Amino acid sequence: MSVLKIAIQKTGRLSENSRKLLEECGIKISNGANVLKSAAGNFPIEVLYLRDDDIPQYVEQQVADIGILGENIVYENDKEVDILEQLGFAHCRLSLAIPKEDSFTGPEYLMDKKIATSYPNLLKGYLKKNNVRAQIEEISGSVEIAPGIGLADAVCDIVSSGTTLLTNGLKEVVTILKSQAVIIANRNLDEAKKEILERLLFRIRAVKNAKENKYILLNAPQDAIQEICRILPGMKSPTILPLVEEGWCSLHSVVREDDFWERISQLKKAGAEGILVIPIEKMIT
């Protein structure tokens, strides 16, 4: 029987959320703390726990069939793999940062400077695009300390909360790339593996949709319903149920997480009361 091999990060910024995503898809796996790989109990999938930087190459060579990792690493490595889906977690950016007391005048600030990074390819692309000649100092970790110890004038590194830059006396001046977790796949999967992948993607999309949306319930006077329906487009049209109180009804719909705060103030203005917003466990569209 066919098994789909999925590579996820062993330890690091993506590892916990990657495992959580599989669990939310109903796939039971071990936590990966002391193992290299583990088979899921109830889905034809085997999980390989790897360094994220190695995942693009392993997927290209089909050591793993698919992988979960940051776009930053996919674009830096530039392997023959397909990006299938953004996963909505591990948001970060690849940015240039300089000592906080310096003033950044534009890309020309970097002319003939030394820039420390673990992302030489993406940095090269930025420098080329901006016609800047600079020296790239490639280091594999703790890039942020490079200016402080005199190894470089600037850094090109991943920024998430910004704490690392702040504690090292650096400031972000240019964003080169925005990134989040994605799922990548080998380009030559056989039919059996493709079929498992489709089942997995179906579940991932249901989990993702659920996270991006909320279920909303509210009470409103009958004559406000039309206006409220305009504010809440919902999946199709909202469900409306009569209340015991004459002239009132209860309305149920789905609203996007992104804009539900804004919608809620509009709803109250339109006459809605007793508004409940409830998380959705899975959403199949």
Partner interacting with residue 117 (select from ligand PRP, Zn ion, none; CB below 5-8 Å by kind)? none
Question: C-beta of 162: minimal distance to ligand PRP in Å?
Answer: 5
User: By the 8 A CB rule, do 59 and 81 touch?
Assistant: yes
Binding mask 32-71 for Zn ion (x = CB under 5 A): --------------------x-------------------
157 interface partner picked from Zn ion, ligand PRP, none, CB below 5 to 8 A per type: ligand PRP
- Of the candidates 125, 69, 73, 70, the residue with the CA atom closest to the CA atom of residue 96: 125
User: Exactly one of 42, 105, 131, 161 binds ligand PRP (CB under 6 A); which one?
Assistant: 161
Between residues 42 and 167, which has the closer beta carbon with respect to ligand PRP? 167
Q: Which residue has tokens 């650096």?
A: 170
Sole binder of ligand PRP in the list 105, 163, 226, 285 (CB under 6 A) = 163
Residue reference for tokens 């409830």: 278
225, 238, 235, 275: which is closest to 256 by C-alpha? 235
Any contact of residue 159 with ligand PRP (CB under 6 A)? yes
CA distances, 211 to each of 29, 88, 207, 226, 273 (Å): 21, 9, 6, 27, 24
Based on CB atoms, which residue is closest to ligand PRP, 159 or 272? Answer: 159
For 142: left if phi > 0, alpha if psi spans -120 to 50, otherwise beta; the answer is left
- Using CB under 6 A, which of the segments 124-132, 151-159, 174-182, 189-197 binds ligand PRP? 151-159
Residue with smaller CB distance to ligand PRP, 6 or 159: 159
Report, in Å, the least distance between residue 130 CB and Zn ion: 26
Q: Which of 54, 71, 157, 172 binds ligand PRP (CB under 6 A)?
A: 157
Partner interacting with residue 159 (select from Zn ion, ligand PRP, none; CB below 5-8 Å by kind)? ligand PRP
Partners of 278 in the β-ladder: 215
> Residue 41 or 141: which CB sits closer to ligand PRP?
141
Rounded to 5°, the CA angle 160-101-136 comes to 60
Tell me which of 164, 168, 186, 213 binds ligand PRP, using CB under 6 A. Answer: 164
Vertex 23, ends 43 and 11: CA angle to 5°?
A: 110
182 binds ligand PRP (CB under 6 A): no
> Which residues, other chains included, contact 285 with Cβ-Cβ below 8 Å and sequence gap of 6+?
205, 209, 235
DSSP, collapsed to helix, strand or coil, labels residue 11 as coil
Contacts with ligand PRP in 39-68 (CB under 6 A)?
none
Per CB under 5 A, residues contacting Zn ion are 52
Per CB under 6 A, residues contacting ligand PRP are 12-13, 141, 143-144, 157-164
